[in-house]
Structure 1
């Protein structure tokens, strides 16, 4: 009885050569992509990433764009980049001015939902997050710096943003427009910051009627100060990926 074609020594040797070639190709391709990742990262627009995002090149390599972080966010702060983002399409990001991460979930649900570790699974509380760093971009436009108060809806009647006001509802965020203010001196950035001691107001005159917002080391870059600022353009912005000590806030 003749041997089957695929059982001959010649076939087996050929098969082994083929598998070695495939293995070598995959190895070279993997190494090439690993080298190419920093280049890819430069093609992706700078964005504020969700809480716990690992370093940008590794984040872009490991994120599978599944949208789990989007689904669990209670304030719908996380979005997936659209087709105009080129190589960043589908990557999750936060537009803090439109909707900041206010940590309504407390337990950082987006991190728990991430299946790949693109959002660092070792982070268990909001104070450990480092998304970026707030920066006072236009101090002369700040109402507190001018000694002015604020009355009304922080971002106007049409603003769609949500925020958790614990004095109203411990668990469910409400529209910012549904919570008007009446402040003798505007302190919205400090008042609504979800991180203790991340931002403060310091007097800049002898009478204490004018104050300047100051960013402190506890800042995690969540973006609530940028979102809630009633001035256009916003006085405070978030520098994504920036850490404390990298220049001045």
Structure 2
């Protein structure tokens, strides 16, 4: 089908391009015909509407952050308040709710702990407890002569204290798992925890139960929960003596 020419134009049959969307062919220029141009016919399908612009990724991140912030504030408020910590806090820590309100999770106390006993909480149903410090005695004990965490805390979550006052700062209390303790469970002689207990505490003693047989027992009122005995327990895995809040 011949291509349509503008009104008043002259072109020979040779100028008509066999390709319907190109007219006239370049050879027409040498014959004095009009200049050529490309003209594509309209597509047989309707024009597609422009695609919607993709949502701004930065906006999504901001909305997610705001949602997390709201949930982070709502969860602790809706959760049940507890006066006692579910974790072993550093010596000198203020009461639990005050501690959670003051601790900013900066990690200053973790970095100065000489035994590596202080570790961040990485999993908790309370979002305000995340990254706050807890004592993990199996990794390291709280050294009796150390006051570094109180000196490093700038938020007031851990009070400063003198080393002579430390025995009165309770972290927790040691308990003996008689099903795992070698003297209790198997009648074997083991005095590791007794020897490890600091002499200024004297919280663990050997109680005679039969001639030549002794069992370790804890005096809770004298135990500050330093974790030295749990750290020194020779059993693999979970120790037979553990510190609980």
User: What's the TM-score once normalised by structure 2's chain length?
Assistant: 0.59
Q: 1:99 to 1:38 in 2, by over 3 A?
A: farther
Q: For residues 1-249 of structure 1, what are the structure 2 equivalents within 5 Å? A: 39=79, 46-82=86-122, 84-85=123-124, 87=127, 88-103=129-144, 106-122=145-161, 124=163, 125-136=165-176, 138-145=177-184, 146-148=186-188, 185-194=189-198, 195-205=200-210, 207-232=211-236, 233-240=238-245
Question: In the TM superposition, what is the alpha-carbon distance from 1:102 to its structure 2 partner?
Answer: 3.0
Question: In the TM superposition, what is the alpha-carbon distance from 1:70 to its structure 2 partner?
Answer: 0.9
Query: Where does structure 1 lack aligned partners over 5 or more consecutive residues?
Result: 1-32, 149-184, 241-249
1:133–1:220 CA contact under 8 A, matched in 2: yes
RMSD (CA atoms): 2.7
1:204–1:212 CA contact under 8 A, matched in 2: no
Question: In the TM superposition, what is the alpha-carbon distance from 1:196 to its structure 2 partner?
Answer: 2.6
Distance 2:116 2:207 in 1: 33
Distance 2:240 2:149 in 1: 28
Q: 1:174 is matched with which residue?
A: none
Q: 1:37 to 1:134 in 2, by over 3 A?
A: farther
The size of the alignment, in residue pairs, is: 164
Structure of larger gyration radius: 2
Distance 2:182 2:90 in 1: 29
Question: In the TM superposition, what is the alpha-carbon distance from 1:210 to its structure 2 partner?
Answer: 3.0
| SS of residue paired to 1:54 | coil
Distance 1:55 1:85 in 2: 18
Question: In the TM superposition, what is the alpha-carbon distance from 1:37 to its structure 2 partner?
Answer: 5.5
Q: 1:28 is matched with which residue?
A: none
Q: 1:216 to 1:85 in 2, by over 3 A?
A: closer
Tell me the alpha carbon deviations over residues 40-65 of structure 1, each in whole angstroms, 9 at most, x when there is no partner.
756xx821111111111110001121
Question: In the TM superposition, what is the alpha-carbon distance from 1:95 to its structure 2 partner?
Answer: 1.6
2:120–2:130 CA contact under 8 A, matched in 1: yes
User: What's the TM-score once normalised by structure 1's chain length?
Assistant: 0.58
Question: In the TM superposition, what is the alpha-carbon distance from 1:100 to its structure 2 partner?
Answer: 2.5
